[in-house]
Amino acid sequence: MGIRKLKPTTPGQRHKVIGAFDKITASTPEKSLVVGKKRTGGRNNTGKMTMRYIGGGHKRRYRIIDFKRNKDGVPATVKSIEYDPNRSSRIALLYYADGAKSYIIAPNGLEVGQTVVSGSDVAPEVGNTLPMANIPVGTIIHNIELRPGQGAKMVRSAGAFAQLTSKEGAYAIIKMPSGETRKILAACKATIGAVGNSDHALEKSGKAGRSRWLGRRPHNRGVVMNPVDHPMGGGEGRSSGGHPRSRNGLYAKGLKTRAPKKHSSKYIIERRKK
């Protein structure tokens, strides 16, 4: 999966860098795995705007992704690699041997026609899902569960991967993409490999209109507001605005926002890098 830098034929094309869709093999999603997706536009049930800078955007349909991978022992063939407007990664359509169909997040190196399978006794190959107790130490993984059977919650965005560094009794020690090292129950499942579309981080929108297509409206900076509207507002001329902080007065840089008595803190061995 590469990227395309366009020629500067228009101002919007000049700085535009978009992903190449060369690995995508199907243009329309599987009808049985698609549902409608409702947008709020940042409004509540009375129509009042409660979240700013949200609205518009292209209409989307949600693809139902199988994050649980609980059809153990049933091999599935990769039918197609598809684009998903709801996430940064690509998705893969699986046809199971028993006739079922499902979408999974497409890992790096997964090809059409390849066979993937889940279960406790399967080989640790790209696209296969198995409990971390059965995954060799040092393996690159993604789609990690936090509780057994809950479904994958972590390491799901484009290009992301974690590494299984060691095992301690009932726990597996995972090095997360953020640099954090933490313990997760070894009974939790994970998928082998890194998430595909790793070039997503290199993309540049090129113009403001692409943000509008994504449902993002223009964002006002705090320093251009009046003091009544923002703590950083006011001043004569172009004032700097003082300490960076949110509209509610919370510091934006350096303030720790993690709850001090959070339940999962005891599983974190080393905090993420600053």
Q: Per the domain annotation, does 117 fall within a domain? A: yes
Does the pTM of the predicted model rise above 0.85? yes
What is the spatial distance between Cα 127 and Cα 133, in angstroms, rounded to a whole number? 17
Task: Tell me whether residue 214 is in a domain.
Answer: no
Answer for the pair 95, 101: CB distance below 8 angstroms, yes or no: yes
Q: What is the C-alpha separation between 20 and 103, in angstroms, rounded? A: 21
Residue ranges making up the domain that contains 31: 3-201
User: Is 133 inside any structural domain?
Assistant: yes
CATH assignment of the domain containing 155: 2.40.50.140
Whether residue 213 lies inside any domain: the answer is: no
Shortest CA distance to 172 belongs to which of 145, 202, 211?
145
- Count of domains forming the chain: 1
Measured CA to CA, the distance from residue 96 to residue 71 in angstroms comes to 9
Tokens of 101: 């169909």
Give domain status of residue 222, yes or no: no
Say what the pLDDT of residue 44 is.
97
Q: State the Cα–Cα distance between residues 45 and 65, nearest whole angstrom.
A: 28
**49-96 confidence digits (pLDDT tens):** 999 999 999 999 999 999 999 999 999 999 999 999 999 999 999 999
Instruction: Report the distance separating Cα 216 and Cα 229, nearest Å.
Output: 21
pLDDT tens digits for range 219-235: 999 999 999 999 999 99
Do the Cβ atoms of 90 and 24 come closer than 8 Å?
yes
Question: Does residue 193 surpass a pLDDT of 90?
Answer: yes
User: Considering the chain, what is the average pLDDT of its residues?
Assistant: 95
Instruction: Decide if 121 is inside a domain.
Output: yes
Tens digits of residue pLDDT in 83-131: 999 999 999 999 999 999 999 999 999 999 999 999 999 999 999 999 9
